């Protein structure tokens, strides 16, 4: 009897898929706080340039503080959904780019994964603003 294939065994079976996934997640984590600052104009910045040190959650009596920094639940749900979208796109896109060279395949997977992360995070930010 043949065992059914899972998502991991199907889409993480090659080195290209694993590298694409790993690099996409690292890039997504690096650009997360600058995107938070961009979406909510809260002051969050790049790692190494203060991260959330200038975020408006540190200011007293603010009318609308950063929604992701004030609520761990909102932040984790938004980032989690965007991360899942990015991981799925990064790994699945490689299955369709298989006959290409290894470098092109990995680069395309990273490009698709990071782009989908930014779009999904933007959608999550809009949804977060609707909930406030």
pLDDT score, position 126: 93
Chain centroid offset of residue 49 CA: 20
Query: Please, what is the average pLDDT of the chain?
Result: 87
CA distance 43 to 41: 6
Q: In the chain, what percentage of residues exceed pLDDT 90? A: 50
pLDDT score, position 43: 93
- Taking 70 as the pLDDT cut, the residues of the chain under it are 1-12, 98
pLDDT score, position 7: 59
Strands (E), the chain: none
pTM: 0.83
């Amino acid at each position: 009897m043949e065992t059914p294939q899972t998502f991991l065994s199907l889409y993480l079976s090659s080195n290209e898929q694993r590298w694409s996934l790993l690099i996409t997640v690292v890039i997504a984590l690096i650009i997360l706080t600058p995107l938070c600052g961009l979406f909510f104009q809260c002051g969050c910045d790049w790692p190494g340039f203060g991260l959330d040190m200038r975020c408006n959650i540190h200011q007293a009596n603010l009318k609308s503080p950063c929604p992701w920094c004030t609520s761990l639940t909102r932040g984790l749900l938004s980032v989690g959904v965007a991360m899942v979208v990015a991981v799925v796109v990064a790994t699945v896109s490689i299955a369709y780019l298989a006959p290409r060279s290894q470098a092109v395949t990995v680069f395309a997977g990273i490009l698709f994964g990071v782009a989908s992360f930014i779009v999904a995070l933007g959608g999550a930010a809009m949804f977060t603003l609707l909930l406030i």
